[in-house]
């Protein structure tokens, strides 16, 4: 290992990253040779190293073709943000300084930046300043952290320290949510030993909307036994919300723990135009949001917020003779999450908040709300497109529905169209099942996305849809001839 390679290595990557990012508006979302390009990285461990520059040249040569252009503004799949200039550059610097955000001893800077960041985020999301929080790898891990705190609280109500003694001998914790519950919460409940199937889903329709009276009845029948409610602020198919304030009221009335998954929906609280959707989160016991989605910092980054963050060290505090003690006055953030050594993801979050401020983020969110309405308007005007849901936030759920195609064939047609759109590469958007129907669900989260990108999405779906519909008409004619 030769330190003299460092300058050339960083210069190469910096120059190539700039070149790549300058071109994301023109790049296909998925190169035609993406699979082959990815496979070209296979190979065995080299006996002799090639030096720093060879692998880096390989990365910049074949890496972009093997990648999805999710950094650009025409990526609408899942809910994935880009990276702001400040966020990206600060994240690079976190790697250069190679800070371990485990503790004050490993990095005063990473620890201080994380504490400042959590305070700023609480301010941004209008959460009570007395709350605590911690950065995680994403909303999955943030849900895990918050539900771990809920599990501990629930055990205490039964007189058991479940982090010390486990769940054996206790009843199954009553956990309730709507059909909007995200897969990551199921995963978290499984990892916590509560069990994925323990959660009772109370929905009143095919979309998964919360059945409030059923929840009220279920809570009443517990006779004051502690329960855990999971509210969903921003569901992935249409961007809809559980009635969080009603959930908060029920939680207060029945002494239940309310956790709110606001991976992207918590950002509704940044704009007076959308904040009503997520009203009541401030009355919850815990809440999550994502950094790598709507905050537009690089992967990976999420946030867990808790009313009582002090309990986290009872769950995740893992001391040893060589590690800081639990009573050390200097913060050890590793004792608030499952991870020991931790990436200093606060660099990017702190830098982007400082770079663009409350107003910059409000304007970005409102710009995306406008784009979602523009998209909904284009869909409503198109005779061959059908919108399937209201558009409260930044996701538009719709399907292709040309004249003369029966309901029974629409699912297959939209599924094939979904594949065709991904292969086409001008835009990137996935399909889902909404109220039983195959549908597109573009999510607008990237700071680079503009009206032209949204318009292109509509054009591409219509153009490829017409081709597929014509093809299937020919096939039907042939098979009946
Ligand atoms: C994306 C998402 C998650 C999971 O977040 P990751 O950052 O992918 O771990 C959880 N809940 C909701 C509502 C989400 O949209």
Give me ligand 1 centre to Cα 137, in Å: 11
Ligand 1 centroid vs 140 CA: distance in angstroms? 6
Distance of CA 366 to the CA centre of its chain: 19
From the CB of 87, is ligand 1 less than 6 Å away? no
- Whether 101 contacts 107, CB under 8 Å: yes
What lies within 8 Å, CB to CB, of 186 at 6+ separation is 196, 199
For tokens 């065995």, the residue is 44
Cβ–Cβ contacts within 10 Å for residue 381, how many? 9
With beta carbons less than 8 A apart as the criterion, state whether 395 and 443 touch.
yes
Question: What pLDDT sits at residue 473?
Answer: 81
Residues 124 and 282 sit within 8 Å (Cβ to Cβ):
no
Q: Which residues of 221-234 are buried (b: 16+ CB within 10 A; e: fewer)?
A: eeeebbbbbbbbbb
Answer yes or no: is the C-beta of 301 below 6 A from any ligand 1 atom.
no
* pLDDT (0 to 100) of residue 56: 98
Q: Which residues fall within 8 angstroms of residue 362, CB to CB, at 6 or more apart?
A: 270, 271
> What is the pLDDT, as a whole number, of residue 95?
98
Distances in Å between the alpha carbon of 428 and those of 29, 174, 363, 371, 422?
6, 39, 24, 16, 6
Burial of 310 (0-12, 13-18, 19+ CB in 10 A): exposed
Atom 13 (ligand 1): residue with closest C-alpha?
Answer: 263
CA of 290 to the centre of ligand 1 (A): 7
* 236 CB near ligand 1 (under 6 Å): yes
Is the beta carbon of 264 within 6 A of some atom in ligand 1?
A: yes
Centre of ligand 1 to C-alpha 138, Å, is 7
Query: Does the Cβ of 282 fall within 6 Å of ligand 1?
Result: no
Using most ligand atoms within 8 A of CB, pick from 78, 136, 184 the residue to mutate for ligand 1.
184
413-424 confidence digits (pLDDT tens): 999 999 999 999
CA dihedral 197→198→199→200, nearest 10 degrees, is 100
Q: Which of 342, 347, 353, 350 is nearest to 137 (CA)?
A: 342
Ligand 1 contact via 79 beta carbon (within 6 Å): yes
Q: Look at residue 472 in the predicted model and tell me its pLDDT.
A: 82
For residues 182 and 232, is the Cβ–Cβ distance under 8 A? yes
> In this structure, is the dihedral angle defined by the CA atoms of residues 203, 204, 205 and 207, taken in order, positive or negative?
negative
H, E, C per residue of the chain:
CCHHHHHHHHHHHHHHHHHHHHCCCCCCCECCCHHHHHHCCCCCCCCCCCCCHHHHHHHHHHCCCCCECCCCCCECCCCCCCCCHHHHHHHHHHHHHCCECCCCCCCHHHHHHHHHHHHHHHHHCCCCCCCEEEEECCHHHHHHHHHHHHHHHHHHHCCCCHHHHCCCCCCCCCEEECCCCCHHHHHHHHHCCCCHHHCEECECCCCCCECHHHHHHHHHCCCCCCCEEEEEECCCCCCCECCHHHHHHHHHHHCCEEEEECCCHHHHHHCCCCHHHHCCHHHCCEEEEECCCCCCCCCCCEEEEECCHHHHHHHHCCCCCCCCCCCCCCCCHHHHCCCCCCECCHHHHHHHHHHHHHHHHHHHHHHHHHHHHHHHHHHHHCCCEEECCCCCCCECCEEECCCCCCHHHHHHHHHHHHHHHHHHCCCECCEEEECCEEEECCECCCCCCCHHHHHHHHHHHHHHHHHHHHHHHHHHHHHHC
Q: Is 182 near ligand 1, meaning CB less than 6 Å away? A: yes
Nearest Cα neighbor of 240 from 203, 190, 287 is 203
Q: Please tell me the distance between residue 382's alpha carbon and the centre of ligand 1 in angstroms.
A: 32
- Beta-carbon contacts of 59 under 8 Å, excluding residues fewer than 6 positions away, are none
Is residue 93 within 8 Å of 352, Cβ to Cβ? Answer: no
Q: For atom 2 of ligand 1, which residue has the closest CA?
A: 263
Residues of the chain with pLDDT under 70: none
Ligand 1 within 6 A of CB of 136:
no
- The preferred substitution site among 263, 264, 267 for testing ligand 1, maximizing ligand atoms within 8 Å of CB, is 263
Peptide bond into 300 cis (omega under 30): yes
Cβ of 263 below 6 Å from ligand 1? yes
In the numeric block, the tokens 């692998």 are attached to: 55
- Residue-wise pLDDT for 248-295, tens only, equals 999 999 999 999 999 999 999 999 999 999 999 999 999 999 999 999
Name the token pair of 314: 């009872």
Distance 292 CA to ligand 1 centre (A): 10
Task: Report whether residue 174 contacts ligand 1, using a CB cutoff of 6 Å.
Answer: no
Q: CB of 184 closer than 6 A to ligand 1?
A: yes
Q: Report pLDDT digits (tens) over 128-170.
A: 999 999 999 999 999 999 999 999 999 999 999 999 999 999 9
Specify the residue with its C-alpha closest to ligand 1, atom 12. 263
- 360, two tokens: 């910059």
Instruction: State whether the beta carbon of 290 lies less than 6 angstroms from ligand 1.
Output: yes
Tell me how far the alpha carbon of residue 262 lies from the centroid of ligand 1, in angstroms: 8
Q: How far are the Cα atoms of 165, 240, 386 from residue 94, in angstroms, in the given order?
A: 38, 35, 46
Q: What is the pLDDT of residue 477?
A: 80
Q: In this structure, are strands 200-201 and 257-261 parallel, antiparallel, or unpaired?
A: unpaired
């Amino acid at each position: 290992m030769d330190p003299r390679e460092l300058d050339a290595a960083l210069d190469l990557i910096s120059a190539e990253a700039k070149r790549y990012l300058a071109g994301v508006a023109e790049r296909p979302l998925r190169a035609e040779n993406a699979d082959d390009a990815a496979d070209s990285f296979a190979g065995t461990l080299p006996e002799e190293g090639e030096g720093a520059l060879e692998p880096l040249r390989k990365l910049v040569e074949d890496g972009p073709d093997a990648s999805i252009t999710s950094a650009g503004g025409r990526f609408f799949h899942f809910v994935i943000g880009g990276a702001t200039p400040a966020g990206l550059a600060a994240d690079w610097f976190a790697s250069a300084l190679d800070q371990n955000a485990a503790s004050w001893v490993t990095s005063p800077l990473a620890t201080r930046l994380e504490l400042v960041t959590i305070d700023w985020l609480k301010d941004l999301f209008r959460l009570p300043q007395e709350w605590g929080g911690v950065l995680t790898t994403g909303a999955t891990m943030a849900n895990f952290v918050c539900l771990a705190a809920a599990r501990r609280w629930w055990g205490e109500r039964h007189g058991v320290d479940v982090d010390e003694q486990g769940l054996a001998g206790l009843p199954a914790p009553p956990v309730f949510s709507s059909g909007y519950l995200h897969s990551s919460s199921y995963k978290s409940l499984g990892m916590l030993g509560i069990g994925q199937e323990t959660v009772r889903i109370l929905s009143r329709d095919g979309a998964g909307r919360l059945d409030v009276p059923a929840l009220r009845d279920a809570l009443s029948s517990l006779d004051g036994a502690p329960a855990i409610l999971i509210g969903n602020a921003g569901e992935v198919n249409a961007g809809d919300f559980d009635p969080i304030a009603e959930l908060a009221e029920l939680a207060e009335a029945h002494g239940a723990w309310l956790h709110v998954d606001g991976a992207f929906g918590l950002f509704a609280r940044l704009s007076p135009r959308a904040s009503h959707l997520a009203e009541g989160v401030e009355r919850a016991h815990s809440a999550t949001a994502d950094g790598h989605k709507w905050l537009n910092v690089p992967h990976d980054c999420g946030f867990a917020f808790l009313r009582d963050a002090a309990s986290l060290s009872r769950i995740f505090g893992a001391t040893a003779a060589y590690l800081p003690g639990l009573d050390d006055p200097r913060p050890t953030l590793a004792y608030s999450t499952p991870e020991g050594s931790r990436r200093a993801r606060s660099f990017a979050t702190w830098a982007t908040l400082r770079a663009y401020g409350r107003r910059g983020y409000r304007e970005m969110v409102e710009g995306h709300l406008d784009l979602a309405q523009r998209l909904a308007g284009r869909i409503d005007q198109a005779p061959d497109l059908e919108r399937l849901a209201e558009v409260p936030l930044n996701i538009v759920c719709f399907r292709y529905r040309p004249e003369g195609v029966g309901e029974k064939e629409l699912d297959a047609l939209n599924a094939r169209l979904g594949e065709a759109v991904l292969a086409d590469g001008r835009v990137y958007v996935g399909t889902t099942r909404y109220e039983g129907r195959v549908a597109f669900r573009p999510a607008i989260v990237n700071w680079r996305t503009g009206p032209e990108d949204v318009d292109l999405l509509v054009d591409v779906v219509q153009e490829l849809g017409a081709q597929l519909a014509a093809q299937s008409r020919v096939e039907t004619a042939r098979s009946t001839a």
